[in-house]
Structure 1
Amino acid sequence: MAAPDVSATKQRILDAASAEFGTYGLAGARIDRIASEAKASKERLYAYFGDKVALFHAVLDANFAEAMENLSFDGADMPEHAVALFDDMLAKPDIQRMMIWGQLQGESTRMRELAESHPSWERRTGSIRRAQSDGIVDARWEPRELITMMFGIVFGWVVAPGADCNDGLDEDALAHRRDVVHEAVRRLCAP
């Protein structure tokens, strides 16, 4: 008899948790629903992740690290990075919602520390500073402020009252939003 594939079980739990946390947030998510969707026992889930908060962190951390490593970043071309981030969040709406839930449920300090402790953070902020020194990006902003405002633009339709979320929009509407994100970040960065 073959041993169970621990990594496959963990991944199923992470995938189910991503959907659950994205829908209900940390407070509203239920471990029994996650375990059921992952086809894993609650005991196995607790053995792997400890508790619900640790599972929430594991999902956020894994997706955050993936985004930091996979999305190219050039401080001289922040508009392109913003569009890539928009597309990444469009492809992972659960993660986008988890980030918003995290902000609402007191995780903002932890998420900021996670970003600033990632090995790519210094490269990103250094790239912005070089672009500022070269006169490509407005030097009145701190790099951290530019990154924060870029996220605000990318997440705008998801958090603005009365705005249509990105879910279910046709390609023309999404292309228009990409153009808006690009132009807004271009203007934000323009010296």
Structure 2
Amino acid sequence: MAPTDVTATKQRILDAALEEFGTYGLAGARIDRIAKNGNASKERLYAYFGDKVALFHAVLDADFVEAMECVEWVGGDIPQHAVELFDAMTRKPHIQRMMIWGQLQGEGPRMRKQAEEHSSWLPRMAAIRKAQDDGGIAAHWNPEDLITLIFGLVFAWVVAPGIVDNQSVDAQELARRREVVREATIRICKP
């Protein structure tokens, strides 16, 4: 009998958990469905991840790292960065959903700590400060607040009540939203 591929089994569980948590959140997610959809036993799932909260954290952490790394930092060109982040989040809506669920579950401090410990954090802050010093970005902004505002713009159509999300609109509307993100970021950053 061939040995079980632990890595493949863990990944199937994580993939199933991503879908489950992204759809139902932590409270509504069911371990039975995750195990079934991940083609694994509940015992295997618990052996790899401990419990439901730990599995939620594993998915949230992986998605948060992916969000931090999905767009290469482009120095002080904040509007371009915002548009690239919008495009990346539109292509990967599961990341947006998990970050929103994380916030709703009170995981904001955990995600903030991850952001600050990520290798891209300090260079991002330094690039914003340099752009401010060079006159390209309004000097009154705290760089962290500026990043927060950009995420708010990028996530706007996912969290605004009564608005159709970015996956459910045609290409013309998506392009319009993309330009809204660009224009709003330009106006926010304007010195």
TM band (smaller chain): over 0.9
Q: Measure, in 1, the Cα distance between the counterparts of 2:175 and 2:121.
A: 29
Alignment length (residue pairs): 191
Q: Measure, in 2, the Cα distance between the counterparts of 1:92 and 1:19.
A: 12
Instruction: Mark the runs of 5 or more structure 1 residues left unpaired by the alignment.
Output: none
Could you tell me which residue of structure 2 aligns to residue 138 of structure 1? 138
Could you tell me which residue of structure 2 aligns to residue 13 of structure 1? 13
Instruction: Mark the runs of 5 or more structure 2 residues left unpaired by the alignment.
Output: none
Q: Measure, in 1, the Cα distance between the counterparts of 2:53 and 2:87.
A: 27
Shift of 1:69: 2.7
- 8 A Cα contact 1:74 1:128, kept in partner: no
Report the TM-score, using the length of structure 2 for normalisation: 0.95
- 8 A Cα contact 1:158 1:164, kept in partner: yes
Calculate percent identity across the aligned residue pairs: 66
Structure 1 window deviating more from structure 2 (84-93 vs 42-51): it is: 84-93
Q: Measure, in 2, the Cα distance between the counterparts of 1:52 and 1:91.
A: 27
- State the 4+ residue runs in structure 1 displaced beyond 4 angstroms: none
Shift of 1:188: 0.8
Name the SS for the 1:59 alignment partner.
Answer: helix
Could you tell me which residue of structure 2 aligns to residue 170 of structure 1? 170
CA RMSD in angstroms, aligned pairs only:
1.2
Q: Measure, in 2, the Cα distance between the counterparts of 1:57 and 1:49.
A: 9
Could you tell me which residue of structure 2 aligns to residue 106 of structure 1? 106
Q: Measure, in 2, the Cα distance between the counterparts of 1:69 and 1:157.
A: 22
Shift of 1:61: 1.4
Q: Measure, in 2, the Cα distance between the counterparts of 1:71 and 1:54.
A: 27
Give matches, 1:50-89, under 5 Å.
50-89=50-89
Shift of 1:8: 0.9
Report the TM-score, using the length of structure 1 for normalisation: 0.95
Q: Measure, in 2, the Cα distance between the counterparts of 1:30 and 1:156.
A: 29
Shift of 1:80: 1.3
